[in-house]
Amino acid sequence: MTRRSNDAFERWATAHADVVERQPHRRVDARSKLELARLNLARARGDLDRDDADRALIAAETAIVNAADAVLAHAGYRIRGKTGSHEVRFGFPGLPAEFAAQADLLRTARRSRNLAMYDHVGGVSAQLAREVVEVAIELVGAAGAVVE
C-alpha cells in the first residue's frame, strides 16, 4: 500500500465515520469473508441450475458484498449496517478496479435484490441473474487476488 492510497483510505474513512470502523484482526476476518463470498457464489450457481433467478441474484449480490467486505477487512476496515452503507462500501478506494467497472450493474443488482427479497416473487429475469452471477465470479476472484 502506498502513502497515496493510505491518504485516500483515510479521507474515505473520515468522510464516512458514521458507517466505517477500524478493524484490528483483519487477515482472519478478510479470509473468512472471502470464504463466505465463495460459498454464496456456489449457492448462486446452484440456484441458476435450479432456474431460480430470484435466489440466484440474491446469492450473487450477497457474494459481491462479501467480496468487497473481504477487501475492506484486509485493509483494516469494517462497514456498519446503516443507511448508506452499501454506497460507502462500494466507494472504498482500495477495491479492485473491476468493482468500479461494474458500478451500474451493482446498482441494478441491489435494486433487484431488494425487490426479490421484500416485494414480489419472479421479478428477476434469468438473463439478469446470469449476468450478475458472472460478474460475481469476476469480483470474488478480484477480491481473492487482494486478500490471498
Work out the mean pLDDT of the chain and round it to a whole number: 92
For residue range 3-59, what is the model confidence (pLDDT) as tens digits? 456 789 889 999 999 999 988 767 889 999 999 999 999 999 999 999 999 999 999
Burial label for 118, CB within 10 Å (0-12, 13-18, 19+), is: exposed
Q: Which domains does the chain have, with CATH numbers?
A: 3-147 (1.20.120.330)
Model-level pTM? 0.91
Give mean pLDDT, residues 111-131. Answer: 92
